[in-house]
Every structure is written in structure tokens, then in C-alpha cells.
Structure 1
Amino acid sequence: MSSAPARNRSQGSPRLPREVRRRHDREILALAVPAFGALVAEPLFVMADSAIVGHLGTRQLAGLGVAASLLTTAVNVFVFLAYATTAAVARRIGAGDRQAAIRQGMDGIWLALLLSAVVVAVVVPGAGPLAELFGASGRATGYAVTYLRISALGIPAMLVVLAATGVLRGLQDTRTPLVVAVAGFAANAGLNVGLVYGAGLGIAGSAWGTVIAQWAMAAAYLTVVVRGARRHGARLRPDAAGIRACATAGVPLLVRTLSLRAILMVATAVAARLGDTEIAAHQVLLTLWSLLAFALDAIAIAGQAIIGRYLGAEDAAGARAACRRMVQWGIASGVVLGALVAVARPWFIPLFTGDPAVRAQLMTALLVVAVTQPVSGVVFILDGVLMGAGDGRYLAWAMLGTLAVFVPAALAVPAIGGGLTVLWWAMALFMVSRMAFLWARARSGHWVVTGAVRGG
């Protein structure tokens, strides 16, 4: 086992043979397609809740919107539970030690439970002030607080699902998360209808339905992981050293995630300063941008699992070859998605708004989104590759550097009299800067650290 980085530069290697490309393509598709389905299923939870609660009234829907935004933020901050666990487990799998891989995953799940206890302890008593902080009106605050306090009971389940998803991805299994996500969505929708209308519980029924569905998903994941642990003789009890190691690996990814959130918050704040038309169009743009990100992130998730496995098996050449092929996938996917956005704009914009002014803003700004999709493809793939390599420290510094580039550019938009399209050119600069940081790391070869455990 070696912890020294392999210095060969992958980008200068010869073209991959056809059979190698096909093998990588099969691996990528086998992991990315189910991962995409699971990613798309996640936001359907909120959509189902919104559709059901929306018929109760505007105040209830407004309260749900605030509470759901707060819960999503609280949970997504800990997405490193999935990312770090995927990389660590995949390395152990590559090294041929499935027992250690599952044991590593259990440490991640125990960390999720510990973190969730802290989050619940903050959210439940602080539901009122938090709802007001997130912009709930006086008439909607009561509904937001009701939904938030009940839904907080599902936070441990949500964080366990994140960690367990990372375990299964590391085990090269993205089909089980897809099945659980689809079943969870169906259960959530059915429970919400029954509790909101059948039982007459109103918005509280929606919260309880979601909590029950989330715990059912967590139970399904835990059943799969615990069975695997027993089959391979892996311990189930918490291990302080293992939990600390998981937390230590997660800190850089937490910094990365917070920096990314800060960039999106700054962009939204600047759009709000530009005017009501601009902020309305900006929200639509962010929604579409996030949808496009799901497709690219699915390949990145495959990258995390595949790269971790190759490095764990001490196959540096295989890791570099997989990286090259996934970058090609990212560019091709970005070109296709960008072309679809550019061509389909006149048809899908009316689905979001009937305001001619907002439509005009979207028609122009969406061209920027379309042009930058190939860049986004490279960014998502290399982000996934470096996560799979356990290169979290560099990812944290890279995102902080990107934040330092983006913020002055975004804040300058109102000062120079720029509009929403100019702001989205600043978003394009954000993606180009991020790509530059990630590409430099990929070219350096410093991420290629082999062995069952990444050193340094």
C-alpha cells in the first residue's frame, strides 16, 4: 500500500483504447443512471408537499415554503456525510476489505446520528425565531413553526439516509438508493394525502407524513447496511476513533459546501437588489440550473465511487484513465444540455411565468446558462473525482478561492448598472474559476494517492 501521490499527468497520456473506454462507459452508466433517478426523486418530496398543502391556502403554503427552505439548508450543509463516506468506503472496497468498508460506513452513520441530535436541539426550540429569520410573514409564521417542529423529528432520519447513501455508493451500489428514494416518495405522497385531508390534520399532517416516510427510508437503508455488516463480521457499535476520523474528513467538505452556499446566497441577494422582475427571473434560472446539475452530478457520483475504488486497489493508471473518460462524459453531457436549453427556451419559459418582462429576462440570461454547461460538466466531474480521491482539503481551498473571485464580480453588477444577464455572466465566471482550480489539481496528479486509507 502506498500513500505517495503518483505524479504522472493524466491529461498528457495517449488516447484510451476502445475496449478500455467501453469498460469505463459501462461502469459510469451502471452507477450514474440510478444515481440520477435517486437525485431527481429527492426534490419530489418538497414538490408533493407543496402540491398537497397548496390546496389548504396561501398562508399554509407560505409557511411550508419557509420551513422547507430552512430544513433543506440544515440538511444539505451535512451532505459531506454522503461524499466523505462514499470515498472512504470505496477505497476499502478497492483494497478488497469489505468488512473494513462497512465498518467505515457505520462510523459515518453514527456521526450522522450525533450531528442530528445537535440540529434537532437547535431547531425545535428555535423554530419561531428561525421562521422569522427566513422571512415568514406574521400570518404564515404559525404554520411554518408547526411544520418545522414536527419535521425536525425527521432530521436524524435524513442525515442517516445521507450517510447510508454514501455507504452504498462506496459499495458501488446506486440501485438500492434509487429504489428507496422512489418508494419513499410514493409513501410520502400517500401519507400526506391521507393525513392532511383524510385525517384533517392540515399542514401538521403533511409534516407527519414526511417524517414517517423519512424514517421508513432510514430503516430500509439501515436494514441493508446492518445485514451487510453481519454477513461480513463488521462491528455495529460506535467507535470513537472511527467517528472522529469521519468528522475530520468531513470538515473540509463542510467548508466547501458552505462556500458554495455563500456564492448562491450572494447571487440571490444581488438579484434582489436589481428589482422584482430580476429576482423572479433569477429564481427560475436557479431552479433550472439546479435541475441541469442533477444530470451532471449523477456522473460525479459515479466518479466518487469509481475513483475511490481504483485508488484503494492501488491502480493509479486506472484512476487516471477513469478520470479522463469521465471528463469526456462531462463535456459531452454539458454540450447536449446546453444545446437543449438554448433551443427549448421559447417552449419551457412560459411554464414558469406569464409576465412578459420576466420572460424577456429569461430568454437572454438562459443563453449564458446554455453556453456555460460544458464548463459545468467539467466542474462537476472533477469535483466528484477529487472527492472520490479524498482530496477534501484542496476542494475547500479551491471553493474559498472561487468565492473570493465571485463576490467582488457579483457585487460590482449593480454598481456598473448591469442587469440579470450580467449577474449570470458573473455566475459563469464563478464556474470558470472553479474549473481552473479543479483542472490545475487534476493536471498536477497530486490527487492520485493510492491505498485503502488516504494519507496526508
Structure 2
Amino acid sequence: MNRRILNIAIPNIVSNITIPLLGLVDLALMGHLGKVDFIGAIALGGTIFNFLYWGFAFLRMGTTGITAQAFGARNLHESILSLSRALFVALLGSIFIIVLQKPIADLSFWIINSEVSVEHIAKSYYYIRVWAAPATIGLYAFSGWFIGMQNAKAPMIIAVVSNIINISLSYYFVFELNMEAQGVALGTLIAQYCGLFLAIYFVLRYYSRLFKYWSIKGMIKIKELKYFVVVNKDIFIRTLCIIFVFTFFTTESANTNKNILAVNSLLLQFLFIFSYFMDGFAFAAEALVGKYIGAKNNKHFEKVIRLLFIWGTVISILFTIAYAFGGNSMLSLLTNAASTIADAQAYLIWIILLPLLSFTSFLMDGIFIGATASAYMRKTMMAATLLIFIPLYYFLSGFLGNHALWIAMLGFMLARGIFQAVYYKKAVLVRFE
């Protein structure tokens, strides 16, 4: 069973780690241009796209769970139909974003209300990268489907290839063509479409035999379509809560001053590195839990749950040690601004505590997604946001300042895992009754 877990987890870790690596490179490129404004601008632009694109992350998660259960039940019709439904939603969503790009930008920058110099750079970044919407959202659907089909290698290859292209082009555009933030955006735009075309190639190359099971009639079956919509609706609301938390975090950072915005933007990369690493095992949970629920194999289900938490504990301890002894070195890699590094060191304690307090939430997310227990994901995420994150911040911010923001973030991550553990029997184990 460990081999099955690692066969899915390791390729996803490789592909996931390229995502924070890309964020690190983007910040490093801007951090070495000599002005803190560039770091803040990339952070603000990234926040807007996190809001837009994470809102469609339900396509990856919902598609994984549904596809994995169909795979476990050997339902080939539903396996290919789940992909077509996800891609249709991705197409509609990307058209919506492109058509409304200016109102979205105006509203976003009005809400964030950053300094004029930072906002000007962020807008130049936004109006280029927004055209990557069809590719970015489409890749959510493809990635979820590949994982549900127990194929972790295809998303890994797509992520690695597209991010190598992204990093290479961004470096070239920024330092060779002096395009600054626009160069980073253009590199991302081109790389995302390269990834999309590669995903289409993999489907045509390795899964063309499934097309004979596809039909318009099957795609619009009321029962399956309703199930697809309900699952993704709940995951969408759950994702909105995460978007709110991270948007609130960045907005409050920007409202403080541009130095705190730069500090928190750098420190968030530590969270992203750990989260994308842990998501490799969460994806393994999605695929294997969904498969064993679809196959009604309770014995293998219980074994994979036990092993996943052993892996999660070991990895969180290793990250805690790495952050405790290597945090300052990582900051130096991200920026050469001595004052920003000095300010960030005051908040490193929260980064050190993060892995142990949050790993359960990542694994439980994977388990709930595999079980398509989307209603309980929505409930627990809303509770963690409304009952923990917001009250903690406003209660502590008056006398702890930026520390309150980090305490609220850690409380939010811890609460997610606790709340899901409380609902585990009712939400997941019921699938075997």
C-alpha cells in the first residue's frame, strides 16, 4: 500500500513543488530589481489571480473524487463524461473572466487599496496574465481527471514542463528585455498554454479508447449532472473561504504598509512550499480513497488512511526542523533587501509551528474529496473561517499587530483539521454502509 501511495504522491509532490518554486522565482526576480514595490506588486497581482483561479479549483477536486469512484467501480462511461463536464465548466468560466477583466480589475484594486506605485505595476502584470484564463482553468479539469484515473505522472510532466518554460521565459523577459513585472506575466501566459496543449496530447495519446463511451445524452443525464453540480457547488463555497482568508491576509498586509506586505508575501512562500508538498499526499488520498469507496473495499481503505497519517506526521516534523534551522537562509534567497529580511525574522516562529499544526487539514481534505463528502467540507471550512480566523484576528490585532494575522492563519489551519476529524465518521465512513 505504501507503494501505491508513493506512486501517486511523489509525482504530485514533484509537480506541486514547481508551483511554489515558480512563486519563489517570480518574487526573487522582482526582489532583485532593487525596489520593494515590485515584490508587493507581484503579491497583489497573484492575490487577484488566486481569487479568480482558486475559485475554479473545485473543478480539480470535484473531478478527482467523481472520477476516482467511477474508476474504482470500473464505470468507463462516467470516467470520460466527468472530464467533458469539467472542461465545459472551465470554458464558460474562462470566457466570463476575459469578458469582464476590466470590472474585475477595478473592483479588485479598489478593495485592496494599495499604494499607487505598487498598484501601477500590479495592473501591468494583471492585464497580460488574465489572458491565460482558458489554459489555467482548463488545466484544473485535466489535472483532477488524471489523478482520478490514478495517473499522477501526466500532471507531473505537464507541471514540470510548463513551469520550466515559465521560469526560463520570465527570466529572459525580465533581465534580457527589461520587461519587469510584464515579463513575469507574459512568461506565465505562454507557459500555461503549453501545459494545456500537453494535457490534450496525453488524453488523445493514452485515453482515446474511452471516447467510444462518450455521448451528449450521457453528458447531460440529470442524475449524474445534478451530482456533479452539487459536489462542485459545495467545493466551490469551501474554496471561496480559502480565497477569502488569503485575500484578507494580503489585503490587511497591504493596508498596514508596503514593508509588511513584502514581509508577509515572502513568508507566505514557506506556507506554499509546505502545502504543495503535503498536497502530494492529499492527492494520493483523493485518488485511493475514491477508488476504494467506488470498489467498496473497506480493508484497503482503512489501511491507506493509517499510512497517510504516518507519512503526514513524518513530513511535518521534517519541515519544522528545516524551517527552524534554514528559515533565514531561505529569506536571503528570496530577496537581497536587508531591512525586509530583518523585519521578516520577527515572524519566523509562526512559520516554524505551521507544519505540525496544519498537516492534518491537508490530509483530511484529500480524504473528504475522495469520498465526495463535499457538504461537510463546506461546513467545516465555513466554521474555521467565521468562528476561528476572523474572531482571532480582530481580537488580537489591537495589541499584537502583524503577529495577530499569523496567529489567525495558524488557528484557521488547525481548526480545519479538527472540525473535519469530528465529522469523519458521518461524512466518510458512511460511504461503506
Distance 1:423 1:274 in 2: 11
Which amino acid in 2 is paired with 1:319? F
Q: How does 1:114-153 map to 2 (within 5 A)?
A: 114-124=92-102, 126-127=104-105, 130-131=108-109, 133-135=111-113, 138=116, 144-153=122-131
Equivalent residues of 2:32, 2:335 under 8 A apart: no
Equivalent residues of 1:316, 1:448 under 8 A apart: no
Which amino acid in 2 is paired with 1:407? I
Equivalent residues of 2:67, 2:82 under 8 A apart: yes
Distance 1:96 1:436 in 2: 34
Change beyond 3 A, Cα 1:41–1:344:
closer
**Alpha-carbon deviation of 1:284?**
3.2
Q: How does 1:171-182 map to 2 (within 5 A)?
A: 171-182=149-160
Is structure 2 residue 292 aligned with structure 1 residue 314? no
Distance 1:106 1:419 in 2: 48
User: What is aligned with 2:68?
Assistant: 90
**Alpha-carbon deviation of 1:311?**
0.4
Distance 1:55 1:283 in 2: 15
Q: Equivalent of 1:251, from 217, 225, 233?
A: 233
Equivalent residues of 1:147, 1:207 under 8 A apart: yes
Distance 1:366 1:330 in 2: 22
Structure with higher helix content: 2
Equivalent residues of 2:8, 2:152 under 8 A apart: yes
Change beyond 3 A, Cα 1:217–1:142:
same
Equivalent residues of 2:114, 2:255 under 8 A apart: no
Q: How does 1:42-61 map to 2 (within 5 A)?
A: 42-46=19-23
The range that moved more, 231-240 or 351-360, is 351-360
Q: Equivalent of 1:75, from 53, 62, 80?
A: 53
Per-residue CA distance 1:179-219 (angstroms, 9 max, x = gap): 11121123334445666788898866654443332222112
Which has the greater radius of gyration?
A: 1
The range that moved more, 286-295 or 129-138, is 129-138
Q: How does 1:191-202 map to 2 (within 5 A)?
A: 191-192=169-170
For structure 1, the 5+ residue unaligned runs are: 1-22
User: What is aligned with 2:190?
Assistant: 212
Change beyond 3 A, Cα 1:408–1:357:
farther
**Alpha-carbon deviation of 1:306?**
0.8
Which amino acid in 2 is paired with 1:263? V
Per-residue CA distance 1:80-130 (angstroms, 9 max, x = gap): 111110111100111122342122122111111112111222115654554
Q: Equivalent of 2:86, from 66, 88, 108?
A: 108
Distance 1:57 1:347 in 2: 19
**Alpha-carbon deviation of 1:305?**
0.7
User: What is aligned with 1:4?
Assistant: none
Equivalent residues of 2:368, 2:427 under 8 A apart: no
User: What is aligned with 1:37?
Assistant: 14
Is structure 2 residue 307 aligned with structure 1 residue 331? no
TM value normalised by structure 1? 0.81
Change beyond 3 A, Cα 1:360–1:148:
closer
Equivalent residues of 1:307, 1:319 under 8 A apart: yes
Distance 1:223 1:264 in 2: 34
Change beyond 3 A, Cα 1:87–1:414:
same
TM value normalised by structure 2? 0.85
User: What is aligned with 1:28?
Assistant: 5
Distance 2:416 2:51 in 1: 22
Q: Equivalent of 1:302, from 284, 302, 307?
A: 284
Q: Equivalent of 2:213, from 234, 256, 262?
A: 234
Partner of 2:357, secondary structure, is: helix
Identity of aligned residues (%): 23
Which amino acid in 1 is paired with 2:238? R
Equivalent residues of 1:123, 1:152 under 8 A apart: yes
User: What is aligned with 1:407?
Assistant: 390
Per-residue CA distance 1:164-188 (angstroms, 9 max, x = gap): 0000000111111111112112333
Equivalent residues of 1:111, 1:246 under 8 A apart: no
Q: How does 1:10-25 map to 2 (within 5 A)?
A: 23=1, 25=2
The range that moved more, 297-306 or 265-274, is 265-274
Which amino acid in 2 is paired with 1:410? Y
Q: Equivalent of 1:370, from 352, 373, 394?
A: 352
Equivalent residues of 2:87, 2:141 under 8 A apart: yes
Equivalent residues of 2:285, 2:363 under 8 A apart: yes
Per-residue CA distance 1:208-254 (angstroms, 9 max, x = gap): 44333222211211222244553122327693445554332111111
Equivalent residues of 2:27, 2:334 under 8 A apart: no
The range that moved more, 276-285 or 56-65, is 56-65
The range that moved more, 305-314 or 123-132, is 123-132
Which amino acid in 1 is paired with 2:393? A
Change beyond 3 A, Cα 1:113–1:418:
same
Is structure 2 residue 400 aligned with structure 1 residue 448? no
Distance 1:36 1:97 in 2: 28
Change beyond 3 A, Cα 1:153–1:309:
same
The range that moved more, 364-373 or 209-218, is 364-373
Partner of 1:314, secondary structure, is: coil
**Alpha-carbon deviation of 1:255?**
1.3
Per-residue CA distance 1:335-372 (angstroms, 9 max, x = gap): 22112222334544444567888666655543343234
For structure 2, the 5+ residue unaligned runs are: none
Distance 2:416 2:345 in 1: 26
Q: How does 1:245-284 map to 2 (within 5 A)?
A: 245-268=227-250, 280-284=262-266
Distance 2:148 2:102 in 1: 33
User: What is aligned with 1:168?
Assistant: 146
Partner of 2:150, secondary structure, is: coil
User: What is aligned with 2:325?
Assistant: 343
Change beyond 3 A, Cα 1:373–1:382:
same
Paired positions, count: 427
User: What is aligned with 1:225?
Assistant: 203
